Structure 1
Amino acid sequence: MTEFSSILSTSNVRGAYRSSQELSGLPGAADATGKGESFSDMLRDATTNTVQTIREAEAVAQKGLTGEVGTQRVVEATLELESTVKMMVSMRDKVIEAYQEIMRMPI
């Protein structure tokens, strides 16, 4: 089996990168002035949303313990928290994997 990194050539990667920069009309895509949402902005927003979801789920769980919120709402908040944490762990793993791949590249 051929290793994935050996399939990609530098020129193909550059071409794909240029093509992705030319995309327009998608959320976060650069406009004609070259301004758009950066990757770091996207990660910051995702992290902020995750922290907010965790705080909301904890608040619902606390209210559930005191009887202010029903069991159904506590279960829904817990399931939402679980899916959010799984997504963030997956994103973290992908970022680490990309960093490790970059570090393995010859200079």
Structure 2
Amino acid sequence: MDVRTSFAAQGYTQARPATQPSPNAAGSAGAAQGFAALAENFAETLRAGEETAKAAMMGGADPHALVEALAASELAVETAVTLRNKVVEAYQEILRMPV
């Protein structure tokens, strides 16, 4: 048997598990948990921004904290809108596909 053939077979057996999906990352349960965590993080960011804005109106928060909270809320909303737009675009592309 040739040495190169042995190396090729060895490389193939090492690379084969990389093509199989990981049970932890695959499946709708993993995706659902990821989206649930994302939605919870989004809601918490908005909630923290609102609380900081209320505290700033009452004189309990400094302006710097208010600006930081509003910037974080704005970034979270822009990210959610961009994600929604991508999902809508993908759905429209699916509808345009010939059957």
User: CA 1:75 to 1:101, structure 2 compared with 1: closer, same or farther past 3 Å?
Assistant: same
Q: Which has the higher contact order (CA 8 A, sep 6+)?
A: 2
Matched, 1:85 2:77: yes
For 1:61-72, list aligned pairs within 5 A. 61-72=53-64
Higher percent of residues as helix: 2
Tell me which amino acid in the other structure corresponds to 2:50.
E
Task: Check whether the contact 2:49–2:69 (CA below 8 A) recurs between aligned residues.
Answer: yes
TM-score normalized by structure 1? Answer: 0.63
How far is the alpha carbon of 1:44 from its aligned partner? Answer: 3.1
Displacement of 1:90: 0.5
Structure 1 pair 85/23, CA: closer, same or farther in 2 (3 Å)?
Answer: farther
The TM-score with structure 2 as length reference comes to 0.68
* CA displacement at 1:33 relative to structure 2: 9.4
Q: Give distance in 1, aligned partners of 2:71 and 2:84.
A: 20
Q: How many residues are paired up?
A: 81
Structure 1 spans left out of the alignment, 5+ residues: 1-20, 25-29
Aligned to 1:46: 38
- 2:52 pairs with 30, 45, 60, which one? 60
Q: In structure 2, how many angstroms separate the alpha carbons of the residues matched to 1:33 and 1:87?
A: 23
1:37 is aligned with what amino acid?
G
- Aligned partners of 1:65 and 1:23: how far apart in 2? 55
Q: Within the alignment, does 1:37 sit opposite 2:15 as a pair?
A: no
Query: How big is each residue's C-alpha offset from its partner over 1:72-91, in whole Å with a ceiling of 9 and x where there is no partner?
Result: 10010001111111111100
Secondary structure at the aligned position of 2:30 is classed as coil
Distance 1:34-1:77 versus aligned 2 partners, 3 A rule: closer
Identity of aligned residues (%): 30
